Amino acid sequence: MNRDILNASQIHDMIRERIANYHADILREVKTAIAGNKVVVVGMAQNPFPKKARRILNDNGIEHKYLEYGSYFSTWKRRNAIKMWSGWPTFPMIFVKGVLIGGASELKRLSDSGELTRMLGDN
C-alpha cells in the first residue's frame, strides 16, 4: 500500500524541521507504547468507540495499554499529529503487535472471526 503524502522535495527547507518535530513528544509516547505492548488502544475521552474497543478486549481477557488524549474540545492538535502519522482518521486507533488494525469496528470483526486470537499467538 502506498499512501499519498507530500514529497519532501515539495516542502521548503525553512519548514522541514517544524514538520518533522510537530508534536514529536506524543508520537514518541505512542511508538514506545506500541513497542512495549502487544495491544495498544489510542483514544480520547467522551468518545464511545474507545470504550467499545476496550470492552471487546476486556471481554476476551486481552491485556492492553490505553492511551487517552483529551476530549472533543481539547488536545485536538496533539491528536491530529497521531492521525497524520498513522493515516487513520478516527479514534480509537488499535495496534496489535505493532500493526494498526483500525478502530473498534475492525477490532470487533477480527475478534468475531478469530483472527485477533491468531494475531496474538506467540508464533
pLDDT reported for residue 1: 76
- Residue 98 has what pLDDT? 97
pLDDT reported for residue 55:
98
Q: pLDDT tens, 62-95?
A: 999 999 999 998 989 999 999 999 999 999 999 9
Q: Grid coordinates in use for 62?
A: 486481552
List of domains in the chain: 12-120 (3.40.30.10)
Question: CA 33, CA 94: separation in Å to the nearest integer?
Answer: 11
As a residue count, the chain comes to 123
The stretch 9-27 carries a mean pLDDT of 94
The enclosing H or E element of 96 equals strand 93-96
- Cell output for 98: 505493532
Asked if residue 123 has pLDDT above 60, the reply is: no
Is the peptide bond preceding residue 89 cis, with omega within 30 degrees of 0?
Answer: no
Does this model's pTM top 0.85? My answer is yes
Quick: pLDDT tens for 22-75. 999 999 999 999 999 999 999 999 999 999 999 999 999 999 999 999 999 898
pLDDT of residue 106: 98
One DSSP character per residue, 39-91 reads EEEEE-TT-HHHHHHHHHHHHTT---EEEE--BTTBSHHHHHHHHHHH---SS
